[in-house]
């Protein structure tokens, strides 16, 4: 039996963690178990979870309904290849996804992770235009401050500056970037912004396959909320210039913004939509790219096939977890549940307004953000949160909450108190 310290030493020596150095490893905490909204560390400490493990564990950890769905599937089979074979968990999942997403989206491609679902979306767009006799349409427009994943094509449409992507510049397709959407969910639409998009489209539409954007909230690129009206206008511009509209709902999907999908804040439908993260309730990696008949049948015209097929496509265990998670989601009223969560977070974060270190507090649905004036030092601040019994992982100037939907008011209050305490010790 290894001691906790031995495990942690090995971890440091052998394992890469997200965005970390192998010579200056950041502190990591050994987890023993997790249940509901609590993560138990091997040293016995219990942390209230404010992160939903990167926004995925919406129903809490170790949920009996999802556990039992996976166990049931495990007893049948864990995996079969999706080429030539199919299975009920995938079929049921496709049926469910099509039922809950905007009407035009009728076809589903299952893949392994959010980044891959973005790759698939971009490939779909390029292949579609190819079959339409427009093979020059191979590039994409994306607003700055966006985040779409870490694989190459996904990276190419991420924010060109604040990503770490400048290292890869020469290896990335050069895309067209426009300003980030002006912030403020209720701020009136600025026509200058739409003009900027129109100009880019006018100048380059012969080369533009699609426009990719995170609807309503730009997440990892800065937790920026913007008026959904922009999306209605963008839809019209895309139609005008023969450009496919791609929504990346990987972070916003499945209720996080207070509607089932962020798209539901608008009255339009994208041509292609990516979902991931919370799809399996945070149990397993799975993502999906949905599209309309226009794109799907366009690609398939003249004996065309879509050129993608991962080994673990449609993994039955992951699909069964997703089916169970979606059933749970359908049992509660998203608007009520998430509005309540938003109210609790507003209350819990309100005291931070008075701190000199704080620039702005903003909440939307299940997202609560405290933006500081200065960036925090993650290595220093992370252990402080753990000391206070909460799991919160800030980035840059942002300390935020994206808790599981099943969190209680008291637990939110504890998270809020910890944030207040930690910020008050930061330099101004
Ligand atoms: C997390 C995220 C991705 C990437 O998903 P992975 O599963 O980490 O590959 C893509 N787009 C958005 C909006 C995300 O939040």
61 is catalytic: no
What mean pLDDT do residues 23-28 have? 92
What mean pLDDT do residues 122-148 have? 98
420 is catalytic: no
Strand partners, 36: 61
Instruction: Give the dihedral sign, CA 296/300/304/306.
Output: positive
Helix, strand, coil tally for the chain in percent (to 5): 45, 20, 40
SS3 call for 189 = coil
Report whether pLDDT(161) > 90.
no
Strand partners, 178: 143
Q: Which two tokens stand for residue 396?
A: 């840059």
Establish whether residue 222 lines the binding site of ligand 1, counting it when its CB lies within 6 angstroms of any ligand atom: no
Report whether pLDDT(363) > 90.
yes
Among candidate residues 128, 147, 230, 283, the one labeled active-site is 147
Residues in binding site for substrate: 54, 147, 277, 309, 393
Tens digit of each residue's pLDDT (9 = 90 or more) over 69-94: 999 999 999 999 999 999 999 999 99
Residues in binding site: 54, 114-115, 147, 248, 277, 309-311, 393
CB 31 within 8 A of CB 39: yes
State phi, psi for 257 to the nearest 5 degrees: -95, 5
Which among 17, 276, 395 is the best mutation to test ligand 1's pocket, defined by most ligand atoms within 8 Å of the CB? 276
Report which protein residue has its CA nearest ligand 1's atom 5.
Answer: 114
Name the residue among 313, 228, 249 with its Cα closest to residue 97.
249
Q: Which two tokens stand for residue 426?
A: 């930061």
CB 217 within 8 A of CB 252: yes
- Percent of the chain surpassing pLDDT 70: 100
Report whether pLDDT(166) > 90.
no
Q: What is the DSSP string of 30-63?
A: -EEEEEBTEEEETTS-EEEESSHHHHT-TT-BS-
Residue 261 confidence class, pLDDT cut points 50, 70, 90:
very high
- Indicate which atom in ligand 1 lies nearest the CA of residue 249: 13
What mean pLDDT do residues 255-275 have? 98
Report which protein residue has its CA nearest ligand 1's atom 10.
Answer: 148
Report whether pLDDT(145) > 80.
yes
Q: Which two tokens stand for residue 104?
A: 């035009």
Burial of 85 (0-12, 13-18, 19+ CB in 10 A): exposed
In this prediction, residue 321 carries a pLDDT of: 98
Residue 226 confidence class, pLDDT cut points 50, 70, 90:
very high
Continuous H helices in 106-173: 114-131, 152-156
In this prediction, residue 169 carries a pLDDT of: 87
Among candidate residues 49, 159, 248, 271, the one labeled active-site is 248
Q: How many A from CA of 133 to the centre of ligand 1?
A: 31
Report whether pLDDT(163) > 70.
no
From CA 116, how far away is CA 274, in angstroms rounded? 10
In this prediction, residue 394 carries a pLDDT of: 97
Which among 114, 213, 366 is the best mutation to test ligand 1's pocket, defined by most ligand atoms within 8 Å of the CB? 114
Give residue for tokens 């100048």.
Answer: 203
pTM of structure: 0.98
Q: How many A from CA of 116 to the centre of ligand 1?
A: 9
From CA 300, how far away is CA 72, in angstroms rounded? 35
From CA 397, how far away is CA 377, in angstroms rounded? 9
Report whether pLDDT(227) > 80.
yes
Report whether pLDDT(136) > 70.
yes
CB 96 within 8 A of CB 320: no
Q: β-pairing, 217-218 with 224-225?
A: antiparallel
From CA 82, how far away is CA 211, in angstroms rounded? 30
Continuous H helices in 269-315: 293-300
CB 240 within 8 A of CB 200: no
Establish whether residue 284 lines the binding site of ligand 1, counting it when its CB lies within 6 angstroms of any ligand atom: no
Establish whether residue 295 lines the binding site of ligand 1, counting it when its CB lies within 6 angstroms of any ligand atom: no
Report whether pLDDT(164) > 70.
no
User: 184: which residues sit within 8 A by CB, 6+ positions away?
Assistant: 225, 226, 227
Establish whether residue 148 lines the binding site of ligand 1, counting it when its CB lies within 6 angstroms of any ligand atom: yes
Establish whether residue 251 lines the binding site of ligand 1, counting it when its CB lies within 6 angstroms of any ligand atom: yes
In this prediction, residue 162 carries a pLDDT of: 76
Establish whether residue 113 lines the binding site of ligand 1, counting it when its CB lies within 6 angstroms of any ligand atom: yes
What are the angstrom distances between the C-alpha of 66 and each of 58, 75, 103, 328?
Answer: 12, 14, 27, 9
Q: How many A from CA of 280 to the centre of ligand 1?
A: 14
User: 104: which residues sit within 8 A by CB, 6+ positions away?
Assistant: 269, 271, 292, 293
Report whether pLDDT(165) > 80.
no
In this prediction, residue 25 carries a pLDDT of: 87
SS3 call for 371 = strand
What mean pLDDT do residues 207-232 have? 98
CB 105 within 8 A of CB 98: yes
Give the mean pLDDT of the chain: 97
Which among 117, 225, 250 is the best mutation to test ligand 1's pocket, defined by most ligand atoms within 8 Å of the CB? 250
Establish whether residue 391 lines the binding site of ligand 1, counting it when its CB lies within 6 angstroms of any ligand atom: no
Report whether pLDDT(224) > 80.
yes
Q: What stretches of 252-304 adopt beta strand conformation (E)?
A: 272-275, 287-292
Instruction: Count how many residues are written for the chain.
Output: 428
Q: How many A from CA of 368 to the centre of ligand 1?
A: 19
In this prediction, residue 344 carries a pLDDT of: 98
Residue 332 confidence class, pLDDT cut points 50, 70, 90:
confident
């Amino acid at each position: 039996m290894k001691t906790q310290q031995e495990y942690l030493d090995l971890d440091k020596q052998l394992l890469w963690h997200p965005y970390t150095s192998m010579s200056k490893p950041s502190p990591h905490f050994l987890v023993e178990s997790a249940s509901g909204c609590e993560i138990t560390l091997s040293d016995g400490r219990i942390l209230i979870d404010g992160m939903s493990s990167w926004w995925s564990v919406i129903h809490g950890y170790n949920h009996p309904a999802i556990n039992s769905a996976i166990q049931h599937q495990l007893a049948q089979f864990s995996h079969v290849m999706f080429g030539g074979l199919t299975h009920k968990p995938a079929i049921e999942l496709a049926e469910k996804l099509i039922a809950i997403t905007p009407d035009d989206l009728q076809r589903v491609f299952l893949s392994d992770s959010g980044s891959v679902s973005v790759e698939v979306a971009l490939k779909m767009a390029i292949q579609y235009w190819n079959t339409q006799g427009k093979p020059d349409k191979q590039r994409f427009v994306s607003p700055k401050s966006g985040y779409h994943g870490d694989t190459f094509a996904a990276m190419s449409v991420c924010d060109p500056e604040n990503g770490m992507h400048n290292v890869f510049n020469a290896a990335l397709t050069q895309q067209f970037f426009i300003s980030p959407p002006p912030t403020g969910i209720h701020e009136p639409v600025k026509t200058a912004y739409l003009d900027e998009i129109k100009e880019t489209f006018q100048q380059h539409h012969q080369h533009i396959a699609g426009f990719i954007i995170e609807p309503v909230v730009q997440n990892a690129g800065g937790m920026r909320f913007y008026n959904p009206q922009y999306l209605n206008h963008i839809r019209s511009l895309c139609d005008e210039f023969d450009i496919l509209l791609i929504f990346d709902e990987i972070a916003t999907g499945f209720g996080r913004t207070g509607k089932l999908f962020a798209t539901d804040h608008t009255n339009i439908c994208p041509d292609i939509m990516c979902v991931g993260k919370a799809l399996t309730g945070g149990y397993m990696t799975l993502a999906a790219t949905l599209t309309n008949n226009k794109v799907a049948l366009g690609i398939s015209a003249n004996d065309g096939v879509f050129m993608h097929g991962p080994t673990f496509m449609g993994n039955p265990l992951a699909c069964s977890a997703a089916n169970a998670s979606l059933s749970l989601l359908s049992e509660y009223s998203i608007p009520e549940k998430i509005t309540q969560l938003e109210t609790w977070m507003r209350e819990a974060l309100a005291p931070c307004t008075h701190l000199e270190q704080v620039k702005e507090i903003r909440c939307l649905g299940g997202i609560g953000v405290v933006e500081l004036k200065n960036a925090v030092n993650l290595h220093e601040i992370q252990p402080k949160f753990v000391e206070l019994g909460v799991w919160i992982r800030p980035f840059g100037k942002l300390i935020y909450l994206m808790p599981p939907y099943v969190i209680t008011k008291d637990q939110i209050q504890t998270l809020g108190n910890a944030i207040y305490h930690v910020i008050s010790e930061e330099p101004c």
